[in-house]
Amino acid sequence: MQKIFDYFQQITQIPHCSHNASKLKDFLISFAKERGYEVQTDKAENILIKKGTPKLAFQAHYDMVCVGKAPKIKTFIENGWMMAENSTLGADNGMAIAMMMALMDEGRGCEFLFTSDEEVGLIGASALAFTLDSKFMLNLDSEDEAEVYVGCAGGVDISAMKDYKLTTKTGTFYKLIISGLPGGHSGVEIHKGIPNAIKLFSRFLKDKNVQIASLKGGERVNSIPTNLEAIIYCESELQNEANITVEKKEGIYTVVDGAEIISVIDRFKHGVLSFNETLNVPDTSINLAIISLKEGTLKIQTSARAMDDTGLKQVQEQYQNFFESFDFHIECEGKYPAWKPEINSFSKEVEKAMISVFGKSEFKAIHAGLECAIISEKYPNMKFTSIGPNIRSPHSRHEKVEIVSVDRIYQVVQKVANCYET
Ligand SMILES: [Zn+2]
């Protein structure tokens, strides 16, 4: 399997950060043409490669999250895992690209779909417009060996806005800083009970008489907030607590009354709303992600997820009603469908291949988005499954991929190709 690692090494030397992956696109096109494949591209920069009239499509995204020195990537190996020096590695999803290149090099009669800009909002998958021949699609963007993914969550970002009356206040204020919380992914880690900086803020000030001059908390809509900063006026004496520091500050500020804001945050139910015991994943959840108060306008951003579209609709309605009961204005955006968990003939075939290599396999669903959800909405008669090698800490400088796992997953991929190849 040295070939896969040689191909992967080649990919790491071609910049392909999201929004900037055209060099890798050109490279993949020539690679396929040199091996006698037909190539199509579309307006969204997706690439479809095929030979004959295939039954099976392999799919991966060809952009990567660039953190640290990336796209300058220098790989090294430690304890059987490949990593990059001070940057993301791009094994998500570059290892899948390398595997698909190896399949093309073997001349497989399959379709190969490379989507653009997955990491910045599933852009390529959302705009996909090719006519596909295949009846089955194997997505290679999962990150645990010996697991066969058969479903993923859909989601929607719900924002709530309200204007509060400003007044001017002079006196002793507090600068309040919340920091040092671990954070985590708002989908796959939402059930872990990770503390939320915004909820910590309301717990700290609950039942106190507070006026707020400024408030800013949270980092990204899809991560559990780790930081918050506020300037507040409080009649009670405030003391430092774990992860909360307060500092007195004399001044004149324009402020809004804090009673309702603190109550909204306090009553907002953050985290897992219902749990799917069969699949052992959250069924519905919401992340209280970002809060800001600017010139009297409060904005709260949340991201809701559910394992099926009915569940998502319910969560959306529940939280719209919640915010509307406080007279907030609501905006929903970035909605993407769920891939409702389903074990079908194709996923069973993939399971068989997985068991023959690993001696075991488990059907799984993930409480986060995969491109399968969006693609399956466009191609309703196609059957989907997702697998991948062991990858840890993607999207961070600590991203790593297990070498032996790549070898084994490639054996699974080959077995699946053998079944459906034309
Ligand atoms: Zn990925």
Q: What is the pLDDT of residues 294-311, one digit of tens each?
A: 999 999 999 999 999 999
39-86 pLDDT per residue, tens: 999 999 999 999 999 999 999 999 999 989 999 999 999 999 999 999
pLDDT given at position 67: 87
Distance 392 CA to ligand 1 centre (A): 12
Q: How confident is the model at residue 220 (pLDDT cuts 50, 70, 90)?
A: confident
pLDDT at 404 over 90: yes
pLDDT given at position 238: 96
**Roughly what angle, to the nearest 10 degrees, separates helices 22-34 and 91-105?**
20
pLDDT given at position 279: 85
Distance 52 CA to ligand 1 centre (A): 28
Average pLDDT over residues 249-255: 96
Average pLDDT over residues 19-30: 98
Distance 141 CA to ligand 1 centre (A): 5
Average pLDDT over residues 204-232: 95
Q: If you average pLDDT over every residue of the chain, what do you get?
A: 96
pLDDT at 115 over 90: yes
Distance 86 CA to ligand 1 centre (A): 19
Q: How far apart are CA 160 and CA 122, in angstroms?
A: 24
Q: How far apart are CA 270 and CA 291, in angstroms?
A: 14
Q: What one-character DSSP code corresponds to residue 279?
A: T
Q: How confident is the model at residue 222 (pLDDT cuts 50, 70, 90)?
A: confident
Strands 56-61 and 111-115: parallel
Q: How confident is the model at residue 327 (pLDDT cuts 50, 70, 90)?
A: very high
Distance 308 CA to ligand 1 centre (A): 21
166-195 pLDDT per residue, tens: 999 999 999 999 999 988 889 988 999 999
pLDDT at 146 over 90: yes
Full DSSP string of 128-160: --PPP--SEEEE-----TTEEEEEE-EEEEEEE
* CATH code of the region 2-152+339-420: 3.40.630.10
Distance 92 CA to ligand 1 centre (A): 5
Distance 344 CA to ligand 1 centre (A): 23
362-389 pLDDT per residue, tens: 999 999 989 999 999 999 999 999 999 9
Cβ burial of 97 (10 Å; 0-12, 13-18, 19+) is buried
Distance 119 CA to ligand 1 centre (A): 7
pLDDT at 97 over 80: yes
- The CB density around residue 211, as the number of other CB atoms within 10 Å, is 20
Find where tokens 């009915």 sit: 310
Q: How confident is the model at residue 283 (pLDDT cuts 50, 70, 90)?
A: very high
Distance 162 CA to ligand 1 centre (A): 36
pLDDT given at position 253: 97
Rg (CA), the chain: 24
pLDDT given at position 422: 77
Q: Which two tokens stand for residue 286?
A: 């919401």
Distance 175 CA to ligand 1 centre (A): 39
User: 359: phi > 0 → left, psi -120 to 50 → alpha, else beta; which?
Assistant: left
Beta-carbon neighbours within 5 Å of ion ligand 1:
92-93, 141
pLDDT at 278 over 90: no
Average pLDDT over residues 217-236: 94
Average pLDDT over residues 144-162: 97
265-277 pLDDT per residue, tens: 999 999 999 999 9
CATH 3.40.630.10 placement within the chain = 2-152+339-420
pLDDT at 1 over 90: no
**Roughly what angle, to the nearest 10 degrees, separates helices 259-267 and 197-205?**
130
Distance 394 CA to ligand 1 centre (A): 8
